[in-house]
Amino acid sequence: MKTNKLTALLLGAVATLPTTNLAAPTLCSDAVTIGYDDGNELLLDIALSDGGTFVICPDTTLDVAGGVAVGTSNILVTCGGDVGECIMTSSSDDGSIFIGSAFETITNVTIEGFLFTGYASNETAFVIADTGMASDYTEFGEVSFVDCIFAENQVNDTLIAVAGGLTFDRCTFADNAVNAYLAINGYGELNVHASDFFNNSALLLLGHVASGVTIEDSCFQENSALALVLADADDEDPSAILPEVASFNNYAADNEAFCLGVIVDDDCILFDALQCRGNSTGGLACYDESNLALGISTGSSETGLYIVCAGSIFEDTLIVTSSNVVIKCEDHQGCTFMPGTESALIVYSDTDASTVASNVTISGMEFTGYTGPDGAVLLAAE
């Protein structure tokens, strides 16, 4: 994945760096956060540093039109506000973010809390990382995205391309349209944890070459692709072997795909979770009428909190047999119990089996349309 443009950008950046001291972060407009609201000052300080943490002011939009280059290891670029309050976009179709160096292996680069959106390009990925040293190209570093959102981008090729390790932790991909991959990497492991992929269109959502793949606690819903994940050997290396794949507790529903899981050597390893996880902070970590009862009965939420997806309509009776359960709509009164003549909710204790249901809390749910004789909500025991 080496590119002449990447090398030229990095060499040009080094040649033109001023010899002044760091610009240093300042007090943000919220009068609380100390951070950067100027992209040029941020890039200058990263280039002149030996690594460290760089905080971006809340409600800051960084426009990377024309392309920017980051060639420093051991850095964390983090949003000083809530997830998505710092935006990365490009007003041009060549506004890629390049991570790499012509002089050293770049490793341990983390971007946290950003919304990547509004990028449209016919030829260039939004993020390109070439972590191997250009003069050697035998050792590679890694790039991580934590609590990031990639939404409403359109790319004729691939959205994120990385030579090196690639990690997505608690990230969301939603409403992106690409002609190749949402993300692809090689020469390092691909790790995806507690991340969500919703309503994306791609040839393949995730691709990986030549190393190990771990995907866990992630949800894939309403995507269109030939396959959700492809793991393959390096075609240019005759001695290469297929990567090892570890898949744990991944959920796939309502996708248009040939393989609802990971393709390895023409085999499909299906994602087999019965519901999207219920106790993480991911954007799609919620239950609906098809899986809430099963999630509660199996205790899939360690905290007892079950977030119900906004817009969910429960037409069948929900029976709760567990204690210390909170059922909460993610949008206040945006979830509906509409049972008709049957009871909407039964909290049920089976004393013969020593099963007692107590301390059940319902929050933000609307009960409507009940016409039965027994009550919309029942407490029952036998």
| pLDDT number for residue 337 | 87
Q: Per residue in 76-126, pLDDT tens?
A: 999 998 888 899 998 888 778 999 887 888 899 999 999 999 999 877 788
Can you point out the beta strands (E) in 124-266? 127-130, 142-146, 149-151, 154-155, 160-163, 165-169, 172-174, 177-178, 181-186, 190-193, 196-198, 204-209, 213-216, 219-221, 227-232, 245-248, 251-253, 259-264
Is the pLDDT reported for residue 349 higher than 90? no
Q: Which residue has the higher pLDDT, 208 or 41?
A: 41
The band of 181, judged by pLDDT with boundaries at 50, 70 and 90, is: very high
For residues 344-369, average pLDDT: 75
For residues 22-49, average pLDDT: 87
| pLDDT number for residue 381 | 55
The fraction of the chain above a pLDDT of 70, given in percent, is: 83
Is the pLDDT reported for residue 2 higher than 60? no
Q: Which residue has the higher pLDDT, 144 or 187?
A: 144
Is the pLDDT reported for residue 274 higher than 60? yes
b/e burial code for range 336-371 (CB count within 10 A of at least 16 → b): bbebeeebbbbbbbeeeeeeebeebebebbeeeebe
Q: Which residue has the higher pLDDT, 215 or 17?
A: 215
CA dihedral defined by 282, 284, 288, 293, rounded to 10 degrees? -30
Give the Cα separation of 121 and 124 in Å (integer): 6
| pLDDT number for residue 251 | 92
pTM, entire model: 0.69
